Amino acid sequence: MKKLIIAIAPLILALLLPGASAQATSAAGRDLPLDKSDYTSGEIFVNGAQIEAPRPSVTGGVIMLPLRAIAEALGYEVNWDDAERRVNIGKDYALWIGKPVFSEDGGATTREFGPPPELIEARTFVPISMFNFGFSGCSAKIEDGIVMIESLRQ
């Protein structure tokens, strides 16, 4: 019962408090509004270790995370293709700045996802949901204001 109360308390607060301006990802992949106070402290942890990364931002009410720092902490190599405005993550993943599509096969096929990746101070930011549904085997959440990314692969 205590876990249920802890799980639904942020949702109740988000509904009761005005000015909801940030979002997190639900289990269904939808972005849920959060009260601004529930946003993030700026800290990002990957697999339990804090990483050095640009502070997450909010665009259109969606929490956007710095892709390179997180992807590299997950063990991926990240490369930029300036001509295509494309980010290659490892040998399989690709996404394009300003386009709400993502590829898991090097760009041969794409699928749509939430808000498109964007450049903020020359760095690529993606919606938090990208780490839940774009990268196979990852989980992303905000817990006590801290962004937590976990690789579910062993």
One-character DSSP codes across 14-25:
HHHSS---EEEE
The answer for residues whose C-beta is within 8 angstroms of residue 14's C-beta and 6 or more apart is 20, 32, 33, 34, 35, 38
Residue 37 confidence (pLDDT) above 50: no
The answer to whether residue 12 is domain-embedded is no
Structural domain tally of the chain? 1
Per-residue confidence (pLDDT) for residue 39, from 0 to 100: 66
Count Cβ atoms below 10 Å from residue 27 Cβ, excluding itself.
7
Letter for the amino acid at 127?
Answer: P
The answer to whether residue 91 is domain-embedded is yes
State the CATH number of the domain containing residue 127: 3.30.457.10
Per the structure, the complete domain to which residue 120 belongs is given by 23-32+43-151
Per cent of the chain over pLDDT 70 is: 73
Note the pLDDT tens digit of each residue in 54-70.
Answer: 999 988 888 999 999 99
The answer to whether residue 38 is domain-embedded is no
**Contact by Cβ (8 Å): 124, 117:** yes
The answer to whether residue 58 is domain-embedded is yes
pTM value?
0.73
